[in-house]
Structure 1
Amino acid sequence: MAVTAPLILVVEDEPVINQAVTDRLRGSGYDVAQAWDGPSAVALCADTSPDLVVLDVMLPGYDGFEVCRRIQAARPVPVLMLTARDDEADILVGLGVGADDYLTKPFRMRELLARVAALLRRVERAAELAERSPTKLGDLGDLSIDEGARRVRVGGEEVHLTPTEFDLLLCLAGSARTVLTREHLYAEVWGWSGASGTRTVDSHVKALRAKIGAHRVRTVHGVGYALEPGDPA
């Protein structure tokens, strides 16, 4: 039986960039649908149920943040956001509305393909883990992680994490109280090694802290991060 290629929706209002990304993805074996504005992106996402969305921030109609908010409300889907501004505030807004990862323009096509592949692998891994029994990760205080169901609770209350945030937390929790370098986290969670990803890690850690409590992830300046499951001092 033939394996169906993942369907990726590319949402970009600049025709040259849209087509370049589309051609590269198709050349790598993916099926691709295209949209050039916010409303058509939301409609096409509802009609085609893509496996992943590559989404520009600056769009006619709805901006990328609103598109992400709407499509995630209808059906959770991995989103790789493209932004022309290297502005941490914009990046955190994108992560806050459900984006899983981001790339700053101009970007290398090789890196975009690596991010896409990593996000799709994460979805496959989540489906496999969902069939297994929950994994215990030791004493994490009032932080509870159900790896199989990919659910997190803090003080008994469920916290919604994006797939990337969950995998980042899982990586930190697997070595609780141990400092993990940004490079290690980037390689393990994003599946892509290189110094260019350290700011990606920093932005996701900030988004994760906002959801589980800032005191739970300790920064070691110049090195990386460690999960500290205990209560705040």
Structure 2
Amino acid sequence: MLMGAQIFVAEAENNRPRLLISTIKHPQISLIEKDLSMAYSHLGIDLQFVEVAGEREFIVGNRGEVDGIAAKFSLVEQQLPEMLKVNVPLMNVEVYLVCASDSLCQQQILDDPTQTVGLLGGKNAMSFALRHRKIKRMELVSHAQILKLLELKRLKYAVLALSYQNIQMIDAAELQISLPAIYSDKVYHYLHSRYAGLLPEVEKALRKVVDDCPKKE
């Protein structure tokens, strides 16, 4: 259980305020963490990242147990009534069908009710992308678990959220990725509503960092 987040907790060594930000375990989350750290550093604020299961981020965010969420798809913001969206797109992320190396990797498989596809559990972009598909679903706890099961060939098919430009960050040698994407959306950073007064400064600083960095699409 996460301890309740303290607003602007001072670091002993340099007296800079620090915010606690939740993240998920994902091959590309480090790119977003880097952008966030740079933006908040411009405001004299340090960030501490804590890894949380994707579905649990909604709970700890709305309860205020963290000060913010590193990144979520815009389609889930109705599930975050206590959080404020920092209106700067961080990354364009697509949902892809990913297959074990020895499987026939064609998107028609998503309409075959005799097959099973792995995906991250909960209401998210992956479940949204499959909302009209007939394939059976196996909900798993992390992207890392999904990738491992594909590599071990214990799972033939999965849907994963990835930024295609940075797709080399997963070990694609043992996997197949079916093109085109089956769904695409942008991800945003969220702050708890107690930081409403800070939101304009964060948006300005984050927009500058994102605009100055190579496009992550």
Q: TM-score, normalised by structure 1?
A: 0.30
Q: If each structure's helix is expressed as a fraction of its own residues, which one has the higher value?
A: 1
RCO comparison, higher one (Cα < 8 Å, 6+): 2
